[in-house]
Amino acid sequence: MSRTRTALLAALALVAGASGTALAVVPGDVGISAIPCTVDYKVQNDWGTGFTANVTITNNSAAKSSWAVKWSYAGNQKVTSGWNAKVTQSGTAVTAANESYNGTLATGGSTSFGFQGTYSGTNAIPATFTLDGVTCNVDGGTGPTDPPGPTDPGTGTKVDNPYSGAKVYVNPEWSANAAAEPGGSRIANQPTGVWLDRVAAINGAGGKMGLRAHLDEALKQKGSGELAVQLVIYDLPGRDCAALASNGEFGPTDIDKYKTQYIDPIAAILADSKYASLRIVTTVELDSLPNLVTNVSPRNTATPNCDTMKANGNYIKGVGYALNKLGDVPNVYNYVDAGHHGWLGWDDNFSTTVQTIKQAATAEGATVNDVHGFITNTANYSALKEPYYTINDSVNGTSVRESKWVDWNRYVDELSYAQAFRQEAVSQGFPSGVGMLIDTSRNGWGGSARPTGPGAKTDVNTYVDGSRIDRRLNTGNWCNQSGAGLGERPQASPAAGIDAYVWIKPPGESDGASSAIPNDEGKGFDQMCDPTYTGNPRNNNHMSGALPNAPLSGHWFSAQFQQLMQNAYPPLP
């Protein structure tokens, strides 16, 4: 992703002016407050004949109820479409005016918009910008072919990979649960996600830490270095329409409650300047968007609840609103859920899922630039890598894609799926710098059942079943899977295009109850968590493979934790 540099010292005005960059200075004042406005213009993606750009405005003068930014191109750039602003062009002159929903611009406040354009020759960054007729400062700038500049102070402390060079927050509540288990001290210091799965979790419920308490603890753990905090944003209206165990507290039409009671309070806390030094990673609304692809009519996997959410648009609106509000906080990095290979790896699901995510990422004031990346396999069990067979293998002339296990999927593991998903997202207009996260908390599949080499080539099914380390009965099985083990430990930049392996799902926290349990958390009973359940079209009518005697989702499940440690791969010391 191309980055730019913003000079914010009024003392640089003469230097900048000499190079054709105008800085407006209030007489008698010096420093940052002397500049009435800053405009940060970034070329996000440039393919030689066209480009996308993001523009961030910061208003340091009186509050505004409407605004207009203007600039002129030195070349032949032409704006073809815009988002989050009304962007028009006359000759070389461009005007970007606010939409009805983002006209308010407080003193010290910022807003962003983006656009796509065409050009030939060079794509120089404009020299001068004005906000409502007042000249603003402009970046010293790195163009798309320049080496990356330093972190841009105009947008906080944003970096390309929030995990690079940073510690990651260890949730003391999960750590205490892990350490209390026999042998649990071996992993009790691992970083895991903090799940904000209902409104009460924001301030803390049932004696648990709230969001501010976690962020305060994160500041203590940070010390003088960098630290990333992982938050799970997870409370959409009609949440998880195909999985009753994780249904939420908001009904299908409660989009306004979701915005005002859930997202707005979270955004307000994250925007507190006290937490500006933290790298806050949000994984945004797991599972729900993929349901709009696979579990709606006319497919045989459709559910009435998913059809309802497709029709009312509240998944799209909710995710868009969350991305917009959270993306406005300079030190927040949004990663959108991208399912997993055993859900979305088929030809009729793969690119459609990216289209659906993009629809959400350009709704409710959000833009694709509010998406820092995507996460796969969250709270799931898909193997990171299948070492003993590939999608290109065949047995006696029969492709592994024809095996019962692969079932015509394009992918056999999460790493290949995540890397391909990233490429597809970029091809559909997401910034070229987007990264991927893979949840490896429970996909190790070690222990005595782990194969040590390829299966026999008697036939394609014998070969695949003997080779695969993923020992589930079907890739559609997702609840408290028997035989699973801890996977790769969290680490930054482990493979091309992958920002990190993460443990977003805290190992030992249940996926759902094995039988109905009355509760005030909005969590229903899903038969996929019942060990005796014989399945449905979404898992090709296999047994559920779930462990018995499981508690409600998110509650501590000691037996599962012990099995995860026993079957860890790489093994625990």
pLDDT in tens, 168-186: 999 999 999 999 999 999 9
User: How crowded is residue 492: how many other Cβ atoms within 10 Å of its Cβ?
Assistant: 17
Residue, of 73 and 559, whose pLDDT is higher: 559
Q: Which H or E run includes 172?
A: helix 172-179
Tokens of 67: 């605004």
Chain centre distance of CA 219: 23
**Distance of alpha carbon 359 from alpha carbon 371, whole angstroms:** 12
Instruction: Summarize the confidence of residues 25-41 as an average pLDDT.
Output: 55
Task: Indicate if the pLDDT at residue 16 is higher than 50.
Answer: no
pLDDT score at 32: 35
Please pick, among 152, 240, 470, 511, the residue that the annotation labels catalytic.
511
Task: Indicate if the pLDDT at residue 156 is higher than 60.
Answer: no
Instruction: Summarize the confidence of residues 386-391 as an average pLDDT.
Output: 98
Of 318, 328, 131, give the one whose Cα is nearest residue 241.
318
Q: 257-267 pLDDT, tens per residue? A: 999 999 999 99
User: How crowded is residue 201: how many other Cβ atoms within 10 Å of its Cβ?
Assistant: 23
Burial class (CB in 10 A: 0-12, 13-18, 19+), 107: exposed
Task: Indicate if the pLDDT at residue 38 is higher than 90.
Answer: no
The pLDDT > 90 percentage for the chain reads 71
Of 401, 423, 425, 420, give the one whose Cα is nearest residue 412.
401
pLDDT score at 493: 96
Q: Quick one: pLDDT band at residue 242, thresholds 50, 70, 90?
A: confident
Task: Indicate if the pLDDT at residue 415 is higher than 90.
Answer: yes
Instruction: Summarize the confidence of residues 267-279 as an average pLDDT.
Output: 96
Question: What's the mean pLDDT when you consider all of the chain?
Answer: 88
User: How crowded is residue 66: how many other Cβ atoms within 10 Å of its Cβ?
Assistant: 12
Task: Indicate if the pLDDT at residue 386 is higher than 50.
Answer: yes
Burial class (CB in 10 A: 0-12, 13-18, 19+), 109: middle
* Out of 127-131, 218-222, 280-284, 342-346, least confident range: 127-131
pLDDT score at 507: 98
Task: Indicate if the pLDDT at residue 144 is higher than 50.
Answer: no
pLDDT score at 164: 95
Tokens of 33: 């407050």
Tokens of 292: 């709009």
* Out of 15-29, 175-189, 275-289, 422-436, least confident range: 15-29
Tokens of 204: 């803390």
Burial class (CB in 10 A: 0-12, 13-18, 19+), 170: middle
Three-state secondary structure call for residue 492: strand
- 259 DSSP 8-state letter: I
The pLDDT > 70 percentage for the chain reads 90
Instruction: Summarize the confidence of residues 293-319 as an average pLDDT.
Output: 95
Residue, of 322 and 47, whose pLDDT is higher: 322
- Maximum Cα–Cα distance across the chain: 85
292 and 309 Cβ atoms separated by less than 8 Å: yes
pLDDT score at 202: 97
Q: Quick one: pLDDT band at residue 462, thresholds 50, 70, 90?
A: very high
Task: Indicate if the pLDDT at residue 3 is higher than 90.
Answer: no
Q: Checking DSSP bridges between strand 394-395 and strand 373-376, what pairing results, if any?
A: unpaired
Instruction: Summarize the confidence of residues 528-553 as an average pLDDT.
Output: 94
Angle at 173 between CA 169 and CA 178, to 5 degrees: 95
382 and 475 Cβ atoms separated by less than 8 Å: yes
Rg (CA), the chain: 25
Residue, of 37 and 246, whose pLDDT is higher: 37
**Distance of alpha carbon 199 from alpha carbon 212, whole angstroms:** 14
* Out of 95-109, 213-227, 333-347, 440-454, least confident range: 95-109
Residue 401's region, left for phi above 0, alpha for psi from -120 to 50, else beta, is alpha
**Distance of alpha carbon 488 from alpha carbon 428, whole angstroms:** 30
pLDDT score at 44: 74
**Distance of alpha carbon 71 from alpha carbon 128, whole angstroms:** 6
Instruction: Summarize the confidence of residues 121-133 as an average pLDDT.
Output: 86
Of 180, 383, 163, give the one whose Cα is nearest residue 283.
163
Q: 307 an active-site residue?
A: no
Instruction: Summarize the confidence of residues 475-503 as an average pLDDT.
Output: 97
Please pick, among 287, 328, 370, 526, the residue that the annotation labels catalytic.
287
Task: Indicate if the pLDDT at residue 499 is higher than 50.
Answer: yes
Instruction: Summarize the confidence of residues 533-551 as an average pLDDT.
Output: 94
Instruction: Summarize the confidence of residues 209-226 as an average pLDDT.
Output: 96
362 and 320 Cβ atoms separated by less than 8 Å: yes
Question: How many Cα atoms sit within 13 Å of 151 on the Cβ side?
Answer: 11
Question: How many Cα atoms sit within 13 Å of 259 on the Cβ side?
Answer: 14
Tokens of 219: 């500041």
Residue, of 122 and 380, whose pLDDT is higher: 380
Instruction: Summarize the confidence of residues 116-132 as an average pLDDT.
Output: 87
Tokens of 363: 């709704």
Residue, of 364 and 25, whose pLDDT is higher: 364
**Distance of alpha carbon 219 from alpha carbon 215, whole angstroms:** 6
Asked if omega into 147 is within 30° of 0 (cis), the reply is no
pLDDT score at 157: 54
Residue 518's region, left for phi above 0, alpha for psi from -120 to 50, else beta, is beta
Q: 254 an active-site residue?
A: no
Q: Quick one: pLDDT band at residue 475, thresholds 50, 70, 90?
A: very high
Instruction: Summarize the confidence of residues 386-392 as an average pLDDT.
Output: 97
Three-state secondary structure call for residue 126: coil
